[in-house]
Amino acid sequence: MWDVLSDDDRVLFYATVPIASVIGYGTIRRKFKQDKPLWPQEVSEKKVLWPLRFEFDIDRLLPFEQWRESKVDSQALRTLARGGFQSVEENVALEAIQALSPVGATAQPTASQRSLHNQLVDQLVEAGQLQHFIAEKEYPIDNERLDVVWRRVERSVPTFVFEVQISGDLYHALGKLKHAYDLWNSRIFLVAQESDRKAAVSLLSGTFHEIQPALRFVEVEKFTKIYELKRSLRDLEKELGLL
């Protein structure tokens, strides 16, 4: 099973107690072989027993208090769960993901959508650098990673935090922005397409109402225009010897 895993595959989280149900899903980011003991039995025996590992992002995880009322289960899933880590038929997996996805969540992004996402992330980093910030992508926050942050000085917390949402799980993106706001009081921005505005407003009126006054929705085309203007200004300053 480990041999056939690929980056961007989906993984379902199945709990056996106190209920038997799928309670979330994630996206595989990379696989690797571990050469150092990690699990308690490995540490006690001072050797690696289970070297085949993979890392994944948590895209959706039901809060514990919602496990019973929002659980997703079927005979096919129960049968597979008895065998441990197993391959799931695509239609069964998609049905489970759809059932768990809140308002605003969509299917796995396409290659072109991932490419646009990565392009916007790189542009946000460059835009921050043009404004003399320390700009970084994939910035860690607990067990998550923020798309882009801008910091004023090396040892400071992020002043600006950006999540780029091109398809994917809007709920998850807003959750990370809320965490950054709660933890650091950062200025938070959601960079998304205009078609996502309605879903974002809906979530900000309900689940994420606490960050509604703080969050800024930045439409992709507007950000692209700002980015191009910033680059044009820099190029002109270079030409005039002002940099």
Whole-angstrom Cα Rg for the chain: 21
Domain match, 20 and 50 both:
yes
Query: Which of 100, 120, 151 represents a domain boundary (last residue)?
Result: 100
Calculate ∠ Cα 188-190-196, nearest 5°.
Answer: 150
Give residue 48's domain range.
Answer: 10-100
The answer to whether residue 38 sits within a structural domain is yes
86 and 139 share a domain?
Answer: no
DSSP 86-103: ----HHHHHHHHHHH--T
State pLDDT tens for residues 15-68: 888 888 899 888 888 888 888 888 899 999 999 999 998 888 888 888 888 888
The model's pLDDT over 140-193, given as tens digits with 9 standing for 90+, comes to 998 889 999 999 988 899 999 999 998 667 888 999 999 999 999 999 999 999
Cα torsion angle, 90, 92, 93, 94, sign = positive
Q: How confident is the model at residue 109 (pLDDT cuts 50, 70, 90)?
A: low
| Domain CATH for 179 | 3.40.1350
Element (H, E) at 235: helix 220-239
Q: What is the pTM of this model?
A: 0.56
Q: How confident is the model at residue 113 (pLDDT cuts 50, 70, 90)?
A: low
Fill in the amino acid letter for 14.
Y
Residue 134 sits in the same domain as residue 166: yes
Q: What is the pLDDT of residues 206-217, one digit of tens each?
A: 888 999 999 999
User: Of residues 114 and 223, which shows the higher confidence score?
Assistant: 223
Residue 106 is assigned to a structural domain of this protein: no
Report yes or no on 161 lying in a domain.
Answer: yes
Q: Is residue 5 part of a domain?
A: no
Answer yes or no: do 68 and 134 share one domain.
no
Is residue 67 a part of any domain in this protein? yes
Same domain, 117 and 183: yes
Same domain as 222, residue 134 = yes
**Nearest one of 147, 82, 77, 158 to 119, comparing CA atoms:** 147
At 243, the pLDDT band (50, 70, 90 cuts) reads low
